[in-house]
Amino acid sequence: MNRPAGDTLDILESLFAPLQGRRMLDIGCGGGHLMQGLVERGARVAGIDIDETAVEAARRAVPTAYVQKAGAEQLPFNDASIHVAVFLNSLHHLPVPNMLLALEEAARVVGKGGSVVVIEPLSEGTFYDALRLIEDETVVRQAAQDAIIRAGRRGILSECRCMEYDRVEAFADASAFIERAVGVDTTRQDRAREALGKMLARFETLSERDVRGYLLRQPLRLHHLKVPVGPPPVVNPLTYG
């Protein structure tokens, strides 16, 4: 499937312009890359991550942001205190039983009429085809999509827009790609070492090349969700699980 290349920051700005003064929460903020971009565009930003090292890195990267160590299932924010909550490549990293709870928490902190954006990688594309040698996330990525559907069926969130685009990443060489893949999740180190030869070969086969270096494409699906203003519908748990 052919998708346009897209920049997540540009897309978020197009959805919520003007960003100036808008309170935005990055759930699973990692080292703060998204927060930094949002702050540069005028947003008032907060972030949470369960990893202490990531929290410290985010605080250094974005000293004006409010960054706390916390889980997505129990956000340290008051009801309706945030304008937009964003999950960028983070929902699928939660335990599957907790994904719906995290979406419910995000809905709580943005309040009725507030926005929750979930951006999740799909299990396709050249980036994923290279990555799956050390970790196949097909099941958890699908679980994240299923959690979004369940949140809609239960009246927690309603979808107002869904779009897909390719994140195109440039690497100087295969080693830079492996460093990127392992840096996101250090538990991949041993598997990457064992599969090094195959990863190098697959990287060479899959990557495109231009003046930026070696390019890999990761398709992303963005869900712009809103918290319904009216009462939630009555849901039969035997029907929807």
pLDDT digits (tens, 9 = 90+) for 132-168: 888 899 999 999 999 999 999 999 999 999 999 999 9
Strand boundaries in 13-94, DSSP class E: 23-27, 44-49, 66-69, 84-88
Contact 27, 86 (CB under 8 A): yes
What is the per-residue pLDDT for 241?
Answer: 42
Report which residue type is found at 97: P
Q: pLDDT tens for residues 192-238?
A: 788 888 889 999 999 999 999 999 999 999 999 999 997 655 554 44
User: Parallel, antiparallel, or unpaired for β 213-226 and 158-171?
Assistant: antiparallel
Write out pLDDT tens, residues 77-95. Answer: 999 999 999 999 999 999 9
Domain boundaries, the chain: 8-122+138-167+219-229
Fold of 8-122+138-167+219-229: Rossmann fold (3.40.50)
**Exposure of 134 by Cβ count < 10 A (0-12 exposed, 13-18 middle, 19+ buried)?**
buried
